[in-house]
Structure 1
Amino acid sequence: MTGWTEYTLALAIFVASHFLPRIGGLRDRLIGAVGRRVYFSAYGFLSLTLLVWVIVAAGRAPYVELWPQAPWTRWMPNIAMPIATVLVFCGFGLRNPYTLGGKRDAIIDPDHPGFAAVSRHPLFLALALWAGAHLVPNGDLAHVILFGSFTIMALVAMPAFDTKARRTLGPEATAFFKDTAILSLSPFFDQTWVLENARLLAIRTIIGLLIWAAALHLHDLMIGVSPFPF
C-alpha cells in the first residue's frame, strides 16, 4: 500500500476496534461466551497489535514536516517512558472501576485507595505521557495526527470518567475524590500508605522498568527508529 492508504486503514481499524464491540451489546455477549478475563486479555493483545501497526504505518506515510526534529527533543520520550510504563503496571487492577484498567467489580474504599491515592487514572496518564512525549520529536503530519489525537483523548477521558464516578457514587463520591488524585506524590510521604502498598508497588515498579528497558532496546527492531538521543 502506498501514500496515505495504509495509515488511514490502520487508524480506521484501530478506532473501529474500540467502538464496534459496544454496538448492539457485542462486548457483553463475547464476555458471556468466553469470560471477562479471556475477553480482555484477547482484546488487550489485539489493541496493542493494532497500535503497533498504526505507529509503523505512520512512519511509512508521506513525510510532511510541520516542525524539524532537534536533537534535544529525543530526550523527551526517554525521560517520560520509564514513568509511563510504571504507571501502566501500577494501574492494572486499580481499585477504581471508573477508569481505564480499573477493576470493574471493585468496592471503593476511600480509607484504602491503594495506588488511586497517587493517581486514579494511571493508564490515561501513561497514555498522555507516551503520546505527548513522542509528539515533541515527531513533527511530521502523520505523527502529529497520531500522537496529538492520543494526547487529547487521554486528557479528555480523565474528567469524563470522573464525572461518571460522581454521578454513580452520589454522596460517596466526596470521600473518594478527597482521598484520590489525578496525580499526587503526597502518598509517598504518608507512612501508613507506604507500609500498606510498598510491596506491591515495588514489584510493579520493577516489572514496569524491565518492560521499559526491553522496549527501549527493541524499539529500533519493532518500530524501525532508534529511540536513543545520541
Structure 2
Amino acid sequence: MKGIFSGGAKLPNDMLKSFESRFSISVFEAYGLTETTSFATCVKKDLSKRVAGSVGEPLFINEIKIVSGQKELPPYEKGEIVIKGSNLFKEYLNLPELTSEKIKDGWFHSGDLGYKDENNNIFVVDRVDNMIIIGGENVYPSEVENLIPKLKGIKDGVLSSIPHDILGNELVLLYESKSDSAVEMSQWNGVFAQHLSSFKLPSHSLNHYRSSVYSFTTSIIPS
C-alpha cells in the first residue's frame, strides 16, 4: 500500500504526521459530499506542496468559491463553501424546495464553513449552522475542539453553550477525563491563551467522567 485517502471529518495534523511516520504510508486528505458524488478536493500526489490543515485544491472537474451570501470572499476570509461542476448532483428526489435552497445559479451551497489561501488550497473549518454567538461575536466549536489533544487530562470533548442574560450565550466545554482524578483547569489556560481570543474561552466545563461542573479561571488569560 502506497497511500490512503482521508475524508468524512477533519484530520488533525498531528495525527496525520503520526500515522505517516508509524506506517510509512502517505495520507491524502480530501473533501466532498454525497451531492458532489464524493470528492470535490484532494491533496495532490506531490506531498512536498501539501499545506498543513488543507484538504487540497478543487478537482479539475469542479470549481469552489468561498462566499458570504452571494458575495465571493477573498483568500483567508471565512465563509460558506460553494461548489459547481460536472460531478454535482442534479436534485434532491421529490424535494424541489430543498433543491432550490441549496443550488443557486448552478452553485451548490454546502453548509460547510471554510476558506482558501492564495494558491486555492481549501480549508474546512466547521458547519455554518454550528456557529455560537457570544455577545455579538462568532465562535465555531471546532476552534476550541481542535485544541483538545493539547489539553492534559482530557480524553475527548465537545464545545456547547448555555443561555446568558447579557451575552446571549456562554461556552461550556463538555469533556471526558482520562481518569477519575480531578483536572486542574488552570493548566489549560496557557493553551487557550496561545490560540483563542478571550470571547472564545469556555466559561464552564462539565466532566462527563465525574459528572461534576467546574468553572474556568479566565481572569489570568490575556484578552
* TM interval, short-chain normalised: under 0.3
Which structure carries more strand by proportion?
2
- Which structure exhibits the higher relative contact order, with contacts defined as CA atoms closer than 8 Å and separated by 6 or more residues? 1
Tell me the TM-score normalised to structure 2 length: 0.27
Which structure carries more helix by proportion?
1
Tell me the TM-score normalised to structure 1 length: 0.27
